[in-house]
Chain A
């Protein structure tokens, strides 16, 4: 492969990693507050549909993008109600949310299949896009990619440099102590769940507004599950999530380019790569568990206190 193709591959890597990145960051926020959300896939696809529908009817893709985030929050609020108010099992509730979300989006979206809607197109960033190599890889994308660059540092700052972030982490690490310190643990968990859902919705909308400008059933195609696995790979750290999301995006982009450049490898093997990597990543991260930032009370419900 020539240098030009490698640069094109890396640029495609950033683009195909972006929806996974949004979703992974959302899941990190949720899990940091102590709530496991396996509904990412369902929330993403609802976000993808709503983003598309709003953009189509309003003619404004930005409005669609924001609406997708809000719908993501609304969908995860169902999960929040089950786990935070009714002390329901987080695993079961999350799985239900995925099945429900995928089914509902496919049902409601049938009428929109094959219809056009406005979306985001690449906008080279002035100055930065002219940098050699880096410019093409990172600064020659649609605006939503640039938004995704801002989220990990902001999320890190929120979690580690603000009072609310500290409270949210306390709710996920040691809710008993947080309650004793006078923090409203349930409120912080709500923040984590609903805030996380917002980013999952954005990740879905990226698929229908920027990656393609189309809606179809099963548009997310398992990306939500990859995000769940990536949270573990990322050791619950936003910075590592960027690395993980691009690693997956890169593998997805690579296998198609390997075929295009005439590699004599059966396509079935190449298409398997992202999923084989998922298994590999999970094995690797459980082996190195010591350095992980896994919240101690992840998946453990807390009783609301008055």
Chain B
């Protein structure tokens, strides 16, 4: 077994290496946690990669479906050894391996998405997805007739909880009577379970289903039942054209283009960045034909307010599920509060455990 593993490891290492182009172009390597065809998270990053591949003098390569942990460390080391200028890792669990590799290769720039650790040559980036979640919540809140909205959630971590809360605030902004029911699947990509979770929400009366996972499973469930859905990551309308209202989507191209420019000019500085809708890194997918014009206008107006910095979303008074005031009237949640969010706002039905 050990020999088999060693041979496989060697094979994988060679394969990862062979994907690299030669010459003195500016080289950027990407490491994805799931296959790029997933229509979700990795796919959205790969759209960004393709955009910078089109730039002059830049070549990119990627390794997909790399498990978090030691495997990812090997892939990153390999890229750094092959003289990649930038190595980008796009999953939370790559953070510690990347920190280790970054110390070994001080000349390479390392970029980690969704974590919180940085080093002299390692930066950290993410996007204010909650802004787009809020807008998608407005759409869901206006389209529901049963006043019950389902949310198929991934893992109970601050990123997901923040998304659910922003979504619910959006729902409540247009429809104070509506509630958001949450089902955890504890998966990032398991179409069977996620579809079943979507169906379970439809069974308890939800007529709009939103999701956090990468698979279009919940979209399928909504379409089959003849109700509406909100996608995530990328425009999922291809999977459920009759159900898909809109989706909060990533537009990583904006960030990748900017950061590469900075690194090439030598102006890049390590640190954590958290751009949002104003920078264009998060957005809303095109509305489905069933979304009325007035609602589209209303949501677009709110979007303009977010971009202008007038709408901060997590603005008090905000109560939690028990009715306790978590954010006093007029107060704006700090980034620390947002990044460490572990409680549900009033209007969410479900537990954060």
Whole-angstrom distance from the CB of A205 to the nearest CB of chain B?
Answer: 13
| Complex CA–CA separation, A217 to B36 (angstroms) | 12
Q: Does A219 contact B (CB under 8 A)?
A: yes
With A5-B204, A212-B220, A219-B191 as contacts: A260 and B35 at CB distance below 8 Å: no
Pair B191/A216 contact, Cβ less than 8 Å: yes
Interface size on A, residues (CB 8 A): 38
Pair B181/A111 contact, Cβ less than 8 Å: no
Q: Does B175 contact A (CB under 8 A)?
A: no
Complex interface: chain B residues within 8 A of A262 (CB): 181, 349-350
With A5-B203, A12-B203, A114-B37 as contacts: A213 and B220 at CB distance below 8 Å: yes
With A115-B37, A217-B35 as contacts: A211 and B195 at CB distance below 8 Å: yes
Q: Does A291 contact B (CB under 8 A)?
A: no
Pair B186/A221 contact, Cβ less than 8 Å: no
Pair A260/B181 contact, Cβ less than 8 Å: yes
B102-132 residues at the A interface, CB under 8 angstroms: none
Pair A267/B186 contact, Cβ less than 8 Å: yes
Partner of B216, one of A122, A207, A214, A252: A214
Pair A260/B217 contact, Cβ less than 8 Å: no
The interface bits of chain B over 18-46 (1 if a CB of A lies within 8 angstroms of the residue's CB, else 0) are 00000000000000000101110001000
With A5-B204, A111-B37 as contacts: A216 and B190 at CB distance below 8 Å: yes
In chain A, what residue has the closest Cβ to B155? Answer: A267
With A5-B204, A257-B204, A259-B183 as contacts: A267 and B37 at CB distance below 8 Å: no
B141-184 residues at the A interface, CB under 8 angstroms: 150, 156, 181-184
Q: Does A253 contact B (CB under 8 A)?
A: yes
| Complex CA–CA separation, A101 to B192 (angstroms) | 19
Interface size on B, residues (CB 8 A): 40
B285-330 residues at the A interface, CB under 8 angstroms: none
Whole-angstrom distance from the CB of B80 to the nearest CB of chain A?
Answer: 25
Q: Does A132 contact B (CB under 8 A)?
A: no
Pair B353/A268 contact, Cβ less than 8 Å: yes
Complex interface: chain B residues within 8 A of A213 (CB): 220
Pair B217/A116 contact, Cβ less than 8 Å: no
Pair A256/B183 contact, Cβ less than 8 Å: yes
With A5-B204, A9-B203, A216-B215 as contacts: A256 and B197 at CB distance below 8 Å: yes
Complex interface: chain B residues within 8 A of A121 (CB): 224
Q: Does A73 contact B (CB under 8 A)?
A: no
A174-225 residues at the B interface, CB under 8 angstroms: 207, 211-214, 216-219, 221
Complex interface: chain B residues within 8 A of A114 (CB): 35, 37-39, 43
| Complex CA–CA separation, A265 to B37 (angstroms) | 35
Complex interface: chain A residues within 8 A of B190 (CB): 216, 218, 221
In the complex, 22 of the A-B residue pairs with CB atoms within 8 angstroms, ordered by the A residue number, are A8-B203, A12-B203, A110-B35, A116-B238, A122-B224, A212-B191, A212-B192, A212-B217, A212-B220, A214-B191, A214-B217, A216-B215, A217-B65, A253-B200, A256-B185, A257-B200, A259-B182, A260-B206, A264-B351, A266-B353, A267-B186, A267-B353
| A-B pairs, 7 with minimum CB distance | A114-B37, A266-B353, A256-B200, A267-B184, A113-B37, A8-B203, A212-B191
